[in-house]
Structure 1
Amino acid sequence: MNRLKTGPRPLLWSGAALLLLLMLAVPVLNLPALLLLMVPYAVLYATLSRGAFLLHLLPVWLMAGLIAGPGVLIFGLFFLLPGIAMGHLYRKAAPASKVIRVVTLIMLAQLMLELLLFEMILDLSLLDEMSSTIRATLESVGAEYMAAAGWSDEQTELLIQMIIHMIPLTFIVISFMVTVLSHYIARRAVLRSGLDVPAFPQAKDWRLPRVLVVYYLIAYVIDLVMAAGDDSFLAVAVMNLVPLLSYVFAIQAVGFFFFIAHERGWNKAVPILIAIPVLLIQPLSLIGVLDTAFPIRKSFTKSK
């Protein structure tokens, strides 16, 4: 690893960590604080020795606990492990794809573990609480309208069941998005400290393994033949896998349009504008499926 030149930067990042922890106690500001809280941990761990990292971290937590209360430290602890993992991978000069994969999995595991701990230790089922909240909201807001439209209690229960079953997908998306945002900011900060951190491949070079197409087709067929209301493990897994793979292929489709833009010499804004509907309209993910399964990029490659 290159010798780092940190200077006053660790103090600034420690101040950023303290500020983000304090922002957690402020309505409206707590959401951006949650999205960015991993960044100072990753930067400090990547640029300092373990001992120095602790010397910067402990006073920050002590002051945050005294000013905003111990509740903010729960969130501080939640983002500590993925932040350390990100910083450790930066020190090892791991590829960006590995950084995102590992940190996303750590965050996902922590979210699932929290559901279990709430139920085991506090005897509080967040899933039951969520079901009760959704049911009460539907009953209070649109009971008369839904009754007039022929909406039955059975349909309400099916909707609640579907939302609950989609929690794994929701956790995956949250973990991935927070990790990508944190990596985007933290990597640039670490580079300024003299540490060489590999960049993520350019969008035009994104390529998924073809085996994902097979998995997607199998999951899609199973989803088509699955009975409505089936709450078996396979049904829940497929219910989460199909939209997840669709979103993955949508990202591949975005890479495909960046490739075309590069080959045709388009303005850089064009693929960015195209990416918006591709990510929002699920059927357009089929472009990513075709790009992964077949060598269609050769048709857009300039002959040399």
Structure 2
Amino acid sequence: MKFGLKSLFWSAGSLLLLLSVLLLPALNVLTVTLMMVPYVILYTMLPTKSFAIQAAVVLAIAFLIAGPVAPVVGLFFLVPAVIMGHLYRKKTAARVVLTAAILTILGELMLELVLFEVILDLSLIQEMSNLVRSMTDDLLAQGMMPPQWNEEMTEAMIRVMIHSLPLVFISIAFFYSVLTHFIARRILRAYGIDVPGMPPAHEWMVPRSLVFYYLVAIVLEMFISPQDTSFISVALLNLVPLLRFVFAIQTIGFFFFIAHQRRWSRAVPLLMSIPVLLFPPLSLIGVLDVAFPIRKSFTKS
């Protein structure tokens, strides 16, 4: 069974990334975002058996160097990478690939919470709560918190953080999947492997039904108290910012559409996208773009 230099290079890269995540705290914030890329490239390039051998060797070496946590961390990124690579082999549409990767990472994150509590008797949510309480107490003792801050406010902040975990998990899964697809697709294309990409930005258009869901969520949010801990309140806490982000992306697509019609430089919509991401109310442009046929006003006759 032959292993080419390219595959050995990416295997070495996956090992170095894994070790840097575990052993180099100064770099792991950056390197952890790239963890899936080598696995995706390897799985797409190699026969399944060859990939399995190289992945097993990488995890074994990491285990010898960094201990038992290494294969656990490696497997977390390996699973969604294999799914993406498998779909790349089948020339599956990018939208399906990203959806599968996002759902896989979400499933892994939720499974981790369960396994930590069942196997290790360790509640990550409780540990996070204790950490926030400890940090808040320290800041209060140092006089770095507002004088009116009290224990009730701390508990309210913890509740919001816990209730926002679904949104955090979705954001993490989305970020990892999109970044991995963006990088891996370009590398694979450089190797002569065709991987379907997302539609051009000027063609982006989310389902119109999302406008209805967004408006309903906004209206419901107006009538729910911030202290409410019901299921609807928690759902809205996650749904509203998630939909707002979706329409912010739609707004960016609208800017690219205008630039495409007017033959502007791509730098123009990119610069226009920055305030959209920094100022959430601008996502209203995306809502209007989906709800009404305003693009016709910019279409060449």
**Short-chain TM bin:** over 0.9
Query: CA contact under 8 A between 2:60 and 2:71: conserved in structure 1?
Result: no
Shift of 1:87: 0.2
- Tell me, in whole angstroms, the C-alpha distance in 1 between the residues paired with 2:19 and 2:130: 31
Indicate yes or no: 2:20 matched with 1:23: yes
Map 1:24-103 to 2 at 5 A.
Answer: 24=21, 25-103=23-101
Indicate yes or no: 2:195 matched with 1:217: no
Bigger relative contact order, structure 1 or 2 (CA pairs below 8 A, ≥6 apart)? 1
Which residue in 2 is equivalent to 1:136?
A: 134
- Tell me, in whole angstroms, the C-alpha distance in 2 between the residues paired with 1:228 and 1:275: 31
- Tell me, in whole angstroms, the C-alpha distance in 2 between the residues paired with 1:101 and 1:232: 29
Shift of 1:7: 4.3
**Secondary structure, in 3 states, of the residue corresponding to 1:87?**
helix
Q: Percent identity?
A: 53
Moved more, 164-173 or 222-231: 222-231
Query: CA contact under 8 A between 1:210 and 1:293: conserved in structure 2?
Result: yes
1:269 to 267, 274, 281: 267
1:181 to 166, 179, 201: 179
- Tell me, in whole angstroms, the C-alpha distance in 1 between the residues paired with 2:116 and 2:242: 26
Indicate yes or no: 2:251 matched with 1:253: yes
Query: CA contact under 8 A between 1:35 and 1:178: conserved in structure 2?
Result: yes
Map 1:283-294 to 2 at 5 A.
Answer: 283-294=281-292
- Tell me, in whole angstroms, the C-alpha distance in 1 between the residues paired with 2:62 and 2:115: 25
- Tell me, in whole angstroms, the C-alpha distance in 1 between the residues paired with 2:93 and 2:257: 21
- Tell me, in whole angstroms, the C-alpha distance in 1 between the residues paired with 2:193 and 2:227: 52
Shift of 1:117: 1.1
Deviations 1:9-65 (A, max 9, x none): 111111111111111211121122211111111111111111111121111112121
**Secondary structure, in 3 states, of the residue corresponding to 2:25?**
coil
Indicate yes or no: 2:190 matched with 1:192: yes
Deviations 1:137-183 (A, max 9, x none): 122113545452x2232222111111111111011111101111111
Q: State the TM-score, normalized to the length of structure 1.
A: 0.94
**Secondary structure, in 3 states, of the residue corresponding to 1:140?**
helix
Shift of 1:70: 2.4
Query: CA contact under 8 A between 2:139 and 2:145: conserved in structure 1?
Result: no
**Secondary structure, in 3 states, of the residue corresponding to 1:29?**
helix
Q: CA RMSD in A?
A: 1.5
- Tell me, in whole angstroms, the C-alpha distance in 1 between the residues paired with 2:213 and 2:4: 50
- Tell me, in whole angstroms, the C-alpha distance in 2 between the residues paired with 1:160 and 1:224: 22
Q: Which runs of 5+ in 1 are unaligned?
A: 1-5
1:234 to 207, 232, 239: 232
Deviations 1:194-247 (A, max 9, x none): 332111111111100100001111111111111222212221111100000000
Relative distance call for 1:100 and 1:139 in structure 2 (3 A) is: same
Which residue in 2 is equivalent to 1:3?
A: none
**Secondary structure, in 3 states, of the residue corresponding to 1:43?**
helix
Which residue in 2 is equivalent to 1:120?
A: 118
Query: CA contact under 8 A between 1:91 and 1:195: conserved in structure 2?
Result: no
**Secondary structure, in 3 states, of the residue corresponding to 1:236?**
helix
- Tell me, in whole angstroms, the C-alpha distance in 1 between the residues paired with 2:212 and 2:292: 13
- Tell me, in whole angstroms, the C-alpha distance in 1 between the residues paired with 2:146 and 2:281: 32
**Secondary structure, in 3 states, of the residue corresponding to 2:233?**
helix
- Tell me, in whole angstroms, the C-alpha distance in 2 between the residues paired with 1:243 and 1:34: 25
Query: How many pairs does the alignment contain?
Result: 297
Shift of 1:73: 1.8
Query: CA contact under 8 A between 1:37 and 1:79: conserved in structure 2?
Result: yes
**Secondary structure, in 3 states, of the residue corresponding to 1:259?**
helix
